[in-house]
Chain A
Amino acid sequence: MLAHLPILQVVVPLMAAPLCWFLNRSKLVWIFALLVCAATCTNSTLLLIEVMKSGTITYELGGWEAPWGIELRIDKLNAFLLLIISTIATVVMFAANTSIQKELSEDRHTLFYSLYLLSLTGMYGIVATGDAFNVFVFLEISSLSAYALIALGNDRRALWAAFQYLIMGTIGATFILIGIGMLYQMTGTLNMSDLAIRLVDVGHTRTVFVAFAFLIVGLCLKLALFPLHLWLPNAYAYAPSIVTAFLAATSTKVAVYLLIRFTFTVFGISFSFTTLPLQSILMVLGLVGVFVASVTAIYQQNVKHILAYSSIAQVGYMIIGYSINTSTGVMATLLHLFNHALMKSALFLALGAIMYRIGSVQLSQFQGLGRQMPLTMSAIVIGGLSLIGVPLSVGFISKWYLLIASVEAGMWSVAVLILLGSLLAIVYIWRIVEMAYFKPPLPGRETVKEAPWTFLAPIWALVIANIYFGIDTRLSVQVAQAASQSLFGINP
């Protein structure tokens, strides 16, 4: 059983997705999907414990030996990612039943759960696999189901957003496919660790350079790095609340993981960062992304838009940490992956609760909510503080390591810009707080009640995690440090 953990992580939700159709009742499907998510969560916890204890686990699919067969390869980095994704998926799923009762028509409930599990399968697959072509297949499984999930939104703009995402996402995925094809052409292998060995000999050829460029651009599209972020704001804003909470916390993270995996493991640090000016390009784009997205967030009227633009800014921080190109920098990126998943899922779930009660997430409708929905609004405040990076919240931890990394690398100007970027976050969070706490309720809204407990429980579980991991950083920092050190080949 223990030996099959890697494949169970992927196959369990894949098998469960069509099974949803046999349980025709919405509530039953929800319980089933929740159990499946919880099972994968347990599975990934076991995997992480196993990996931390005894090192990398490889699993040969169908017993075909790598590099001929497809290999699942779990090391510290992707075990950490699997844990993040599965935990968020489970917690968000807890609130799904209540939320979609209100937001989706009855006949779409089963469809929603199936798609959710399929999207989850794709993400697990991307993270778990050690085969480059397999990455593309799982990427498309998760993206195609994500397009459909977004199109489930009630607003007709959801359809248009899903279509735009489909066009951009497919172009990104096809770029990745071209890159992988060129790598295969040059090396005759698709296995990542095998690629890493064989690329050394052909690393100077133009084909490998082009392959690298295609891969990076494709991945940057997927992870919504400025200026390739245009698909993200509307897709997040008009999707059903649960879908937004799920995708915002997981899908861009998976793309960041792939970027790290391809540049560090497959191409190697010396090729990715010395031969090409990747470091300076991504650093500039990351910084510009932080500022442009944060400033745009300040001027939004829809709170989902505010947080979506803030997501783009946070991706910018992750890319800054990554392009500092030191062990501490990548560690800061991984920490921010973890922390941002906690913050954004809490914030978007809280917006889901507000959507449930008042049917809108326009900023102007937030008047007086601070008194009417105290628990939900205080969750947004704490999540917002974490987003800014106030001490005792998780956001502080990752910003802190990001600053340490940039100072260590002698990049003082970057450190200053990171601090300035955080100040911008104060502005857009303050706009929400001001509206909710310092304005009287709108006429006809005096009777709005607190959100139901099925919402409050997952929201507050995430908020408490936001504070807990801001104080006791042992788990997150240890794992992130171990993962980034293994990428740089440092043995602790």
Chain B
Amino acid sequence: MFLGLYNYWIAILLMMIGFYIVIAHGNLVKKLVGLTIFQTSVFIFYISVGVVERGSAPILAEGISDYSNPLPHVLILTAIVVGIATTALGLALVIRIKESYGCVEEDEIQKLDQLNEEKS
């Protein structure tokens, strides 16, 4: 049971690790790393769903009768593109935050915001 579905367990494990990093770490870059791990786990999940036992790659060739379901692969290609866009945008925001706040730590940013509010 456990070994037979090991890819799903790995997906769940990665998902939890990623999710934990997003919540627990205050560093914005680390948050993005966590977010990426979280998303990647979903990619693995999708690809696991498409596997057919003893199936080969879904190509048209002689001697291939069983092949894995290619649709999840295609879906996940799209999701990977979306993930890259999200990471790129997130990193761009981190650069801008670093430029205007001078730091990339969540608690320091919040402190600076509070100081600002008290002044105004």
CA distance A86 to B109 in the complex (A): 37
Q: What is the interface size of chain A, counting residues whose CB is below 8 A from a CB of the partner?
A: 24
CB distance B101 to A156 under 8 Å? Answer: yes
Q: Which of B46, B72, B86, B109 contacts A166 (CB under 8 A)?
A: B86
**Which residues of chain A come closer than 8 Å to B89, judged between CB atoms?**
144, 147-148, 166
CA distance A181 to B49 in the complex (A): 8
Within 72-101 of B, Cβ neighbours of A (below 8 Å) are at 72, 75, 78-79, 82, 85-86, 89-90, 93-94, 96-97, 100-101
Task: Give 18 A-B contacts (CB < 8 Å), ordered by A residue.
Answer: A136-B79, A137-B78, A137-B82, A144-B85, A156-B101, A159-B100, A160-B97, A160-B101, A160-B113, A163-B28, A167-B31, A167-B35, A171-B19, A174-B38, A174-B39, A177-B42, A178-B42, A181-B42
CB distance B96 to A151 under 8 Å? Answer: yes
Within 157-172 of A, Cβ neighbours of B (below 8 Å) are at 157, 159-160, 162-163, 166-167, 170-171
Q: Which of B46, B72, B82 contacts A140 (CB under 8 A)?
A: B82
Within 38-93 of B, Cβ neighbours of A (below 8 Å) are at 38-39, 42, 45-46, 49, 71-72, 75, 78-79, 82, 85-86, 89-90, 93
Is chain A's binding surface mostly helix, strand, loop or mixed? helix
Q: Which of A137, A151, A160, A178 contacts B109 (CB under 8 A)?
A: A160
B113 — nearest CB in chain A belongs to which residue?
A: A157
Residues of B within 8 A of A (CB): 19, 22, 28, 31, 35, 38-39, 42, 45-46, 49, 71-72, 75, 78-79, 82, 85-86, 89-90, 93-94, 96-97, 100-101, 109, 113
**Which residues of chain A come closer than 8 Å to B82, judged between CB atoms?**
136-137, 140, 144
Q: A163-B28, A171-B35 are in contact. Are A147 and B49 (CB under 8 A)?
A: no
CA distance A15 to B113 in the complex (A): 39
Does A280 sit within 8 A of B, measured CB to CB? no
CA distance A413 to B58 in the complex (A): 59
A151 to chain B, nearest CB (A): 6
**Which residues of chain B come closer than 8 Å to A156, judged between CB atoms?**
97, 100-101
CA distance A163 to B90 in the complex (A): 7
CB distance A171 to B113 under 8 Å? Answer: no
CA distance A137 to B79 in the complex (A): 8
11 additional A-B pairs beyond A167-B31, A181-B45, beta carbons within 8 Å, are: A133-B75, A140-B82, A140-B86, A151-B93, A159-B93, A163-B28, A170-B39, A171-B22, A174-B42, A181-B42, A184-B49
**Which residues of chain B come closer than 8 Å to A136, judged between CB atoms?**
79, 82
Does A101 sit within 8 A of B, measured CB to CB? no
Does A185 sit within 8 A of B, measured CB to CB? yes
CB distance A147 to B93 under 8 Å? Answer: yes
